[in-house]
Amino acid sequence: MTTTTWHTVIDIAIRTSVVYLTLLVGLRLTGQRQLGQMSSFDLVLLLIISNAVQNAMVGPDTSLVGGLVAAGVLIVWHQGIDRVRRYSRSASRLIAGEGIMLINNGTVLAEHLTKAGLTMDELLQALREHGVGSVTDVRLAVLEPDGAVSVIRFDDLKPDAHNRPHHRIRAIRRAEDR
């Protein structure tokens, strides 16, 4: 049925693991933008990387078993890392990153925009997608770890006492004091 040996299967599993972990770290280090902010430029890079590492994972073995072993190892690593990420906040921050505040009280935070790898045009596009015409209408905009931009407009905040920030802070402090 197949001529793949156990030595070849183990070799493919090790190669696939090394490639997966290296790409995970490399892509994490390159920045916050992910699928939610992927441009055609980013997609082309991702497709080329996938083609480039395919041979590194399976080597000269182009058998069905070799491909299935590589796919299985990728799924196992993905599920394992996802479980760790769900149960550990610090691991989640390390793997997925944290949100980056882009706008605070109608002011664009230029340093944060640069850190996020976004241009002003991309930020304005994200605001338009949320139906916001001007930066000055935004109370808070955050680039989330999944690449989406969350926007809270000033008029989204209700003026009643329960939604005023200083009341929430006091309530949180009281809960922490207990």
Question: In this predicted structure, what is the pLDDT of residue 171?
Answer: 45
pTM listed for this prediction: 0.62
The model's pLDDT over 30-61, given as tens digits with 9 standing for 90+, comes to 655 555 556 676 777 777 888 878 888 888 88
Under the banding of pLDDT at 50, 70 and 90, the label for residue 83 is very high
Q: CA triplet 15, 93, 51: central angle to 5 degrees?
A: 30
- Domains of the chain by start residue, with CATH: 6-96 (no CATH), 100-177 (3.30.240.20)
